[in-house]
């Protein structure tokens, strides 16, 4: 089983109050921005609605519950032009240091993503190919050009590449994966989903990829048990010599197999992850 956490869009789900680090010459004049996602010393002005929010995610959460569906919208991080210093309340163009009081508004700062964060232990880095900031330490990830995202170095030359595999929604919860705040799992087949959704699927004894139907874990023990059950279960005489055509979801091979009520085995890869299909049409 290949399951690995990807480099995610940078976020911090835990708040540690009182850890506010300023430049040595700056005296603290106000409390940190009340944001559950990041520790920083500025707010952003959302150009889409001209309102001020602690961060992009705070904006999206607030607007997603608006009464009128027409008012619901999301903030494009790259469109942010103005920030408000949390120390002196000065509104100014995006920059690391406040132009008025000189406070460092974020220990980590990305001018491209308009992103500030004090918790540099998360190992934030900007991936030029992804076009966004991710966490986990740049040395621990590589950008797969075909898959179109940052993957753990453990998956280098050790995963099935699927073009733009991260540029779609989780097949379980349907949240967009590319810049999701949640950990993402890469399955053996190369398709991706949220890590928590993956384990929920396994707990519910669903062992096939929801997208391509390939087995996502080693099923050899299960197939051996099915062999034993089939051997112990004799079919009625009229079905003993019955043959059916099957498509194997694991190896994509099309073969003729013996019919059995318990399962139909692929003679190519020995998998029972198969389905009956219509017989092939032979050329005249």
Sign of CA dihedral 191, 4, 61, 79: negative
What's 252's domain CATH number?
Answer: 2.20.28.10
- Judge if 37 and 111 occupy the same domain: yes
Q: Does any domain span residue 16? A: no
In a shared domain, residues 108 and 142: no
Map tokens 């952003």 to a residue: 44
In this prediction, residue 117 has a pLDDT band, given cuts at 50, 70 and 90, of very high
195: in domain: yes
Percent of the chain with pLDDT over 90: 81
pLDDT of residue 284: 67
pLDDT (tens digit per residue) in 174-209: 999 998 889 999 999 999 999 999 999 999 999 999
**pLDDT above 90 (res 132):** yes
Q: pLDDT-derived band of residue 264, with 50, 70 and 90 as boundaries? A: very high
90 & 157 share domain:
no
Distance separating alpha carbons of residues 90 and 205, to the nearest angstrom:
55
65 occurs within a structural domain: yes
Question: What are the pLDDT digits (tens) for 270-281?
Answer: 999 999 999 888
Q: In terms of domains, do 37 and 108 share one? A: yes
Q: Is the pLDDT of residue 33 over 70?
A: no
- Quick check: is 212 in a domain? no
Give the residue with greater pLDDT, 10 vs 181.
181
My answer on whether 153 and 112 are in the same domain is no
Task: Give tens-digit pLDDT for 153-178.
Answer: 999 999 999 999 999 999 999 999 99
Res 280: pLDDT: 84
Q: Residue 248 domain-assigned?
A: yes
pLDDT score recorded for residue 179: 87
Residue 165: both structure tokens together: 């595999």
Whose tokens are 């569906």? That residue is 69
The secondary structure of the chain in percent helix, strand, coil, rounded to multiples of 5, reads 15, 20, 60
Long-range contact set of residues 80-84: C-beta below 8 Å, sequence gap at least 24:
80/44, 80/45, 80/46, 80/47, 80/56, 80/114, 81/45, 81/47, 82/44, 82/45, 82/47, 83/42, 83/43, 83/44, 83/45, 83/114, 83/116, 84/42, 84/43, 84/44, 84/45, 84/52
In a domain, 98, yes or no: yes
How far is the first Cα of the chain from the last one, in angstroms, to the nearest whole number? 44
Q: Which residue range is the domain that position 147 belongs to?
A: 137-204
Number of domain units in the chain: 3
Same domain, 47 and 111: yes
Nearest 5°: CA angle at 5, between 61 and 187? 110
282 has pLDDT over 90: no
147/194 same-domain check: yes
Instruction: Flag whether pLDDT at 5 surpasses 70.
Output: no
Residue 187 lies in a domain: yes
87 and 148 in a single domain? The answer is no
Radius of gyration (C-alpha) of the chain in whole angstroms: 26
Once rounded to an integer, what is the mean pLDDT over residues 90-110?
96
Q: Which of 75, 92, 121 finishes a domain?
A: 121
Report the share of the chain in percent with pLDDT over 70.
88
260 inside domain = yes
Query: Which of 87, 121, 155 represents a domain boundary (last residue)?
Result: 121
Domain endpoint, select from 90, 121, 152: 121
Distances (CA, A) of 65 to 11, 13, 60, 142, 257: 21, 20, 9, 36, 54
Q: What is the pLDDT of residues 217-234, one digit of tens each?
A: 999 999 999 999 999 999
Residue 148, SS3 per DSSP: coil
pTM recorded for the entire structure: 0.76
Looking at every residue in the chain, the average pLDDT score rounds to 87
In this prediction, residue 283 carries a pLDDT of 74
């Amino acid at each position: 089983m290949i399951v690995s956490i990807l480099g995610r869009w940078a976020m911090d789900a835990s708040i540690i109050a009182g850890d506010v680090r300023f430049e040595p010459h700056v005296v603290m004049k106000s409390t940190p921005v009340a944001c559950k996602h990041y520790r920083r010393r500025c707010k952003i002005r959302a150009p889409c609605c001209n309102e001020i929010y602690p961060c992009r995610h705070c904006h999206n959460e607030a607007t997603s519950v608006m009464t009128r569906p027409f008012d619901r919208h999301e903030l494009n991080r790259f469109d942010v032009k103005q920030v408000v210093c949390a120390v002196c309340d000065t509104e100014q163009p995006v920059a690391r240091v406040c132009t008025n009081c000189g406070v460092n508004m974020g220990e980590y700062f990305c001018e491209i993503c308009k992103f500030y964060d004090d918790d540099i232990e998360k190992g934030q880095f900007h991936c030029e190919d992804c076009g966004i900031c991710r966490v986990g330490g740049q040395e621990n990830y590589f950008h797969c050009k075909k898959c179109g995202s940052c993957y753990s170095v453990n998956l280098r030359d050790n995963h099935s590449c699927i073009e733009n595999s991260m540029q779609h929604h989780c097949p379980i919860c349907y949240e967009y994966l590319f810049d999701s705040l949640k950990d993402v799992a890469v399955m053996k087949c190369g398709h991706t989903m949220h890590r928590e959704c993956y384990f929920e699927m396994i707990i519910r004894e669903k062992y096939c990829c929801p997208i391509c139907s390939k087995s996502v874990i080693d099923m050899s023990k299960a197939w051996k048990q099915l062999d034993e059950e089939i051997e112990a279960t004799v079919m009625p005489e009229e079905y003993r010599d019955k043959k059916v055509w099957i498509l194997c979801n694991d190896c994509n091979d099309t073969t003729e197999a013996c019919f059995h009520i318990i399962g139909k085995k692929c003679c190519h890869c020995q998998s029972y992850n198969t389905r009956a299909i219509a017989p092939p049409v032979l050329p005249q």
